[in-house]
Structure 1
Amino acid sequence: MFATESGGVRRNSLKDFVNVKANGKIAMKLADGDKLVRVRTCTEDDDILLSAHGGKCIRFPVTGVRVFVGRDSKGVRGIKLAKGDEVIAMSVLRHVKVGVEERDEYLAAVNAARRLKGGDYTKRAEDKARDEELAAKLNEEKFVRMAEEEEYLLTIAADGLGKRSSAYEYRIAGRGGQGIANIDLARGKKKTHVAAAFTVLDSDQIVMVSDSGQIIRCSIDKISIVGRSSRGVSIFNTADGEQVVSVSRLRDVNGDDEEGDEAEEVENGGPEAEAAPQGNEEGEEEPPEVDGAGEAEGDKAGGGEEETP
């Protein structure tokens, strides 16, 4: 799956990229000024999550993007961006068939269990009893299965605030919509934006670098798990005017002096983006393609989907 800065996506079979010579091969046609943001392998059992500079995101099934035959097409719209906004990351999540009510019930039980671990219930016996009742549901078979399949998305803002959120918080919708909030970027008169967003494990570590040359390294399990639209907690205490420009994920790190595998790196160097307006993740009808380039197998010529601008 290809993702571009303008919000476009395109899916190709890996067989389209065999026998690549030393001088390379054209992988995707890009509009003037557009850039590739990320390329990831995926299956039809996965979902795609696009994260934008201005704090919005959208999650849709891989099957929502048809398989293109050619390599010289622009693809189709993945997310409808506000003016000045841009996609900065693409993550691949496992597609889990869970109903909205079941998802909300699971998240409520998980949040109750977290409150019980560190909460102060002094003079709040009723609240404690309610949380104990909710947390007990995690022993049910369906919730045990959901816990085993749960993934987490780390989102870091340029001012050093960040958080982890359950992938269940990101509802699945049709591609091409405006998306939903990924993180709260409200800072009063100050402006910030999303610097990085990618999936993580409890055992991972991250390295963050600022534009002034400062660097920190921390464990993922030290970063709070909060709601999708929360602002998070301070991870990197940046100075006035200082911004986080790079976040790298380290995996399989056995010691402080050993290097791990850098699985994700997102650098932020673009202009300030305007926050995308709030809206529902609704797809929209798209006009036919101008030409038949990149047409899916079995599609009629020129049918079906709008190419990205």
Structure 2
Amino acid sequence: RILLATRKGKAITFKATDARPMGRQTQGVTGIRLSKGDEVVGMGIARPRTEALSVTENGFGKRTAVAEFPTQGRGGQGVILAALSPKTGNVAAIQMVDEGTQEILLITSNGVVIRTPLEQVRALGRATMGVKVMAVGETKIASIATFTMTRPAQTQLDLLR
């Protein structure tokens, strides 16, 4: 399944086969019908046991199980991804995370970056605003990234010792 998320807090999941292969010169197919002034902020592959990590402009974040998003036909309006308010701001970014994801990076529009463990972001339902992940002050969250820490690979020199 594919999950698309919008700035105004909507999300839609549909079967990947609904987005048929096309050439580069085509316009593609409609994934989600947007309301006036809305735009897509991210997408991901919604695998079983995956969670959607969403973060708002004002630093609120949450993890939501993709199982909570019903599969729809592409081109629909979607369902609520997050309860937004002036306090939370609009959705800034979304990433798919699983049990292997350990940390997230958040960056503000003025270049401030923080790194925090994913476990500090609570798993909540769709129609919730989330928890404060980063104090942003007068700026806004610009983007997020997720990563997994792995042990560095042994070098050739280590193998010769």
TM-score tier by shorter-chain length is 0.7 to 0.9
| Residue 62 of structure 1 pairs with residue 16 of structure 2 | yes
The correspondence for 1:165, drawn from 42, 58, 64, is 64
| In structure 1, C-alpha distance between the alignment counterparts of 2:38 and 2:144, rounded to whole Å | 20
- 1:51 matched residue in structure 2: 5
1:119-268 equivalence runs, <5 A: 149-187=48-86, 192-202=89-99, 203-239=101-137, 241-254=138-151
What per-residue deviation string (whole Å, max 9, x for no partner) do you get for residues 50-73 of structure 1? Answer: 1111111110001222232x3311
Q: Which has the higher contact order (CA 8 A, sep 6+)?
A: 2
More strand by share: 2
* C-alpha deviation, 1:253, in angstroms: 4.4
How many pairs were matched up?
151
Partner SS state of residue 77, structure 1: coil
More helix by share: 1
Q: Which amino acid aligns with 1:186?
A: S
1:267-282 equivalence runs, <5 A: none
- CA 1:161–1:254 in 2, change beyond 3 Å: closer, same or farther? farther
The correspondence for 1:82, drawn from 15, 20, 35, is 35
* C-alpha deviation, 1:181, in angstroms: 0.9
| In structure 1, C-alpha distance between the alignment counterparts of 2:147 and 2:17, rounded to whole Å | 30
Q: Which amino acid aligns with 2:102?
A: D
Consecutive aligned runs of 4 or more in structure 1 exceeding 4 Å deviation: none
Q: Could you state the TM-score of these two structures normalised by the residue count of structure 1?
A: 0.46
- CA 1:211–1:182 in 2, change beyond 3 Å: closer, same or farther? same
Query: Which protein has the larger Cα radius of gyration, Structure 1 or Structure 2?
Result: 1
Q: Could you state the TM-score of these two structures normalised by the residue count of structure 2?
A: 0.86
Task: Indicate if the aligned counterparts of 2:88 and 2:129 stay in contact, CA closer than 8 A.
Answer: no
Task: Indicate if the aligned counterparts of 1:201 and 1:220 stay in contact, CA closer than 8 A.
Answer: no
Task: Indicate if the aligned counterparts of 2:57 and 2:88 stay in contact, CA closer than 8 A.
Answer: no
- 1:9 matched residue in structure 2: none
Provide structure 1 residue ranges, at least 5 long, that are not aligned to the other structure: 1-46, 95-148, 256-309
Task: Indicate if the aligned counterparts of 1:55 and 1:194 stay in contact, CA closer than 8 A.
Answer: yes
Q: Which amino acid aligns with 2:56?
A: A
Q: Once superposed, what is the RMSD of the aligned Cα atoms?
A: 1.8
* C-alpha deviation, 1:191, in angstroms: 7.0
Task: Indicate if the aligned counterparts of 2:93 and 2:144 stay in contact, CA closer than 8 A.
Answer: yes
Partner SS state of residue 168, structure 1: helix
